[in-house]
Structure 1
Amino acid sequence: MNKNLIIGQFTDAYLPITDGVVLTVKNYAHWIEKKYGKCIVICPSFPKFIDEDNFDIIRFFSIPMPLRPPYRMGIHYLDLKAIKRVEKIPFHIVHAHSPFSAGLFALETARKRKVPIVATFHTKYYDDFKSATKSDFLARIGVDIIVKFYEKVDQVWTVNSSTAKTLKEYGFKKEIEIIPNGTDIIPPENLEEYKEKINKIYNLSQDDNVFLYVGQLILHKNIKMLIESLYYLKMKGFSFKFLIVGTGKDEKYLKDLVRKLKLDKEVIFVGRIIDRELLKGFYARADLFLFPSLYDASPLVLQEAFALSCPSLLIKGSNASEGIIDGYNGFLSENNAISYANMIEKLIKNKPLLREVGKNAQKTLYRPWEKVIDEVVERYKELIFTYKKNF
């Protein structure tokens, strides 16, 4: 079965969106197709976008999500053509990366095909629901519906034990398997060349203090607190540049905040970077990767930072901080602007320590996607075998 697996990856978000779940699905499909057989991604349609991946993609009907552009809401049951295409595929196993339309499509497909279904819990959905509805009651109802979906699948995965704990807190009582995320970035040997490229683009000197954030520009990510911490740092007389890579629905709010705090000269909104080689340069040049999110489970941007030996500053107790040993392979701070600023100040005065911790992060936390997918496929094969034996 090693080279003949047929696997479906069902997701409610895919390219041209480039969040963590999208990149996870893309790398699952890429490496499965390359090493183990056939992988098909089933996802919502996206107008005017042309798929160019090296694996098959089936798009189903979708409509815009006004509250979360550019995301789209898939409605698979209105797309009979997509349903018929999927029904013809002799899957050995299907994998749902969302509990919504794509997840339901995966569950229906698995039961019709009489094959197992895995579902990964990627996201703190309660936070999403609360942000959209402004209601604890409605957010709780949404979470209850999600838990019922995960209870129907054959195996549930999360990206780390902290995220498994979150799903348990939502009310899920069954066993949860831990499958970590990886990255497609391979550590380059010529790190200085990548650094110099960013220095030239942004007119930086080798001695400039450079901080980096990569990710969506949404308030969920705690970026407001991060910017406020840099305001305190500037008030103490520290000079620095803060490069923000990404876009999102709260970009205007954050730009207004930067202007209000008179950080225009220090903060650079880079925008979205599609070129992965150029993205390496940002991590290579940064003295410190700032990621104070309490929302993220196991962000791929951290794996990217680890790959480039870029030390990270996270929040104590956050899901994203799992695996971080403070002062050895990363740094941790309390969740407030003054504490975060004080920690940055302390660290930037000790650049040899930053370099050492960055190297330790690469040694202890970096995981290439190829190795992750080797483990994923072994888990798939075990589940296929068990399912057939018990069916």
Structure 2
Amino acid sequence: MIGLFNDCFPPIMDGVSLTMQNYAFWLHKKTQNVCVVTPKNPEAEDCTGYPVFRYSSAPIPMRKPYRLGFPGIDWPFQLKLSRLSFELAHAHCPFSSGKLAVQVARSQNIPLIATFHSKYRTDIERIISNKYLVDLLIKKIVRFYEMADEVWIPQASVEETLREYGYKGKVEVVNNGSDLTLDASSALLRIETRRRLGIREGESMFLFVGQHIWEKNIGFILDSLALIRDLPFQMFFVGSGYAYQEMVDRVAERNLSHKIHFLGNVADRNVLKSYYTAADLFLFPSLYDNAPLVVREAAGLHTPSLLLRGATCADEIVDNYNGFLSDHSVDFFADRLQELMMNPKLVGDVGLRASSTIVRSWEDIADEVYDRYQRLIHKSRYNSPRCFTGGVMYERV
């Protein structure tokens, strides 16, 4: 069995959780031999065709809906895990689930893959102000990746972050995918969604999808939009997070509630697709994210993104070709928005090129992932401390 390990999984929805969900769905469809290992969640239903094994957890203060896992004290879970036979463990984070993946890989002598998704230093620094403790935790994270047989990153530019943390080993680039694409009904869906949201003729629709946390530079979006308040636009935020209420308050204080709207979490992928399809531009000025799925999802529906020049997540974007870039200045960002609102043809053309240059289907990604798994499993078996003589296997001593 292939084990996918991560500290969050639906109903928690973020980029890594969605990556895990698509890995599990397509690998199960291909092999019928995959499982997910993740913390318990009181809202989870796990109506999947593949098994999901959950262990004890508790809410993380100030990080709702994320949970802290405690697999070591969950004896029924540990017993269940010990009875499973794995061919490969793939960890998508270095915390409780990652430690479990290491435990399984060592006890069953199987390959371990670890994907580096997030800028963990930023997350840790928000909670811990002591630089010595932060550096110590980063060193522990680097040691985790050093234990893996292969370390994967979702985009080439992510390697720089991992090197900054002190990791010196080899990395493999394995891109993320998107499950959202245009179809025959998309043109009508765009019209109906814009009508439902009250977008008038001649108005631009801007969109942000993701956690409402200041690390994603969402305050930058609000400040930029305040500078173009007199232009015809509507802005929609999808998601939730600790900064939500303060964002709402800021919008109200600036008398922009009639132009900036908060839609909350959207778990239904078809509903989310309708928002991407209806939007003219996806605004994502984050310096925090590595390789955000949301930029690819928007591109898959021909909605180009406006990002910050030099950001890790903008690595695959060529300005005015498959996306748009701005300098890290509220004034520049606002000017760029105004420029693009005046040039809808350019926006449309760039959206088309974005869909053809930065988007791959999750099914295609899963095929690549499975081939990589098989090569690593075969290599591990070939190099294992066993030899065959006359058709009989002997353990080397």
TM tier, smaller: over 0.9
How far apart, CA to CA, are the structure 1 residues paired with 2:102 and 2:195? 51
**1:255-303: per-residue Cα shift (whole Å, max 9, x none)?**
1111122211110111111221121111111111100111111111111
Which of the numbers 6, 29, 39 marks the counterpart of 1:11?
A: 6
Q: What's the secondary structure of 2:157's corresponding residue?
A: helix
How far apart, CA to CA, are the structure 2 residues paired with 1:148 and 1:93? 20
How far apart, CA to CA, are the structure 2 residues paired with 1:276 and 1:25? 15
Residue in structure 2 matched with residue 325 of structure 1 by the alignment: 318
Which of the numbers 123, 127, 150 marks the counterpart of 2:122?
A: 127
Residue in structure 2 matched with residue 145 of structure 1 by the alignment: 140
Which residues of 2 match residues 147-296 of structure 1 at below 5 A? 147-234=142-229, 237-296=230-289
Which residues of 2 match residues 301-312 of structure 1 at below 5 A? 301-312=294-305
Report the CA distance between 1:205 and its aligned residue. Answer: 2.2
Larger deviation, residues 128-137 vs 12-21: 128-137
CA change 1:315–1:48 in 2 (3 A) is: closer
Residue in structure 2 matched with residue 359 of structure 1 by the alignment: 352
**1:294-316: per-residue Cα shift (whole Å, max 9, x none)?**
11111111111011000110011
CA contact (8 A) 2:210 2:238 kept: yes
Report the CA distance between 1:335 and its aligned residue. Answer: 1.3
CA contact (8 A) 2:202 2:232 kept: no
Residue in structure 2 matched with residue 3 of structure 1 by the alignment: none
Read off the aligned partner of 1:291 and give its amino acid letter: F
Read off the aligned partner of 1:308 and give its amino acid letter: L
Residue in structure 1 matched with residue 88 of structure 2 by the alignment: 93
Report the CA distance between 1:67 and its aligned residue. Answer: 2.5
Read off the aligned partner of 2:343 and give its amino acid letter: N
Residue in structure 2 matched with residue 115 of structure 1 by the alignment: 110
Report the CA distance between 1:193 and its aligned residue. Answer: 1.5
Read off the aligned partner of 1:218 and give its amino acid letter: I
Read off the aligned partner of 2:171 and give its amino acid letter: I
Q: Which runs of 5+ in 2 are unaligned?
A: 385-397
Q: Does 1:374 align with 2:367?
A: yes
Which of the numbers 26, 48, 51 marks the counterpart of 1:53?
A: 48
Please give the TM-score of this superposition, normalised by the length of structure 1.
Answer: 0.96
Q: What's the secondary structure of 1:161's corresponding residue?
A: coil
Q: Does 1:21 align with 2:20?
A: no
CA contact (8 A) 1:67 1:132 kept: no
**1:38-86: per-residue Cα shift (whole Å, max 9, x none)?**
1100000012432112211000011111121111100111112111212
**1:332-360: per-residue Cα shift (whole Å, max 9, x none)?**
11112111101111111000000000000
How far apart, CA to CA, are the structure 1 residues paired with 2:181 and 2:249? 36
Report the CA distance between 1:206 and its aligned residue. Answer: 3.5
**1:114-147: per-residue Cα shift (whole Å, max 9, x none)?**
1001000010000000111133332222111100
List, as ranges, runs of 4+ consecutive aligned residues in structure 1 with deviation greater than 6 Å.
none
How far apart, CA to CA, are the structure 2 residues paired with 1:36 and 1:198? 38
Which of the numbers 327, 339, 346 marks the counterpart of 1:346?
A: 339
**1:308-327: per-residue Cα shift (whole Å, max 9, x none)?**
00011001111111111111
Q: What's the secondary structure of 1:386's corresponding residue?
A: helix
Residue in structure 2 matched with residue 78 of structure 1 by the alignment: 73
Number of matched pairs: 384
Q: What's the secondary structure of 2:374's corresponding residue?
A: helix
Larger deviation, residues 181-190 vs 171-180: 181-190
Read off the aligned partner of 1:304 and give its amino acid letter: E
Q: Which runs of 5+ in 1 are unaligned?
A: 1-5
How far apart, CA to CA, are the structure 2 residues paired with 1:135 and 1:184? 41
Cα RMSD between the aligned structures? Answer: 1.1
Read off the aligned partner of 2:255 and give its amino acid letter: K
CA contact (8 A) 2:64 2:242 kept: yes
CA contact (8 A) 1:199 1:206 kept: no
In terms of Rg, which structure is larger? 2
Read off the aligned partner of 1:168 and give its amino acid letter: R
Read off the aligned partner of 2:238 and give its amino acid letter: V
Larger deviation, residues 202-211 vs 22-31: 202-211
How far apart, CA to CA, are the structure 1 residues paired with 2:55 and 2:142? 24
Report the CA distance between 1:200 and its aligned residue. Answer: 2.7
How far apart, CA to CA, are the structure 2 residues paired with 1:138 and 1:162? 27
Q: What's the secondary structure of 2:33's corresponding residue?
A: strand
Read off the aligned partner of 1:111 and give its amino acid letter: R
Read off the aligned partner of 1:296 and give its amino acid letter: D
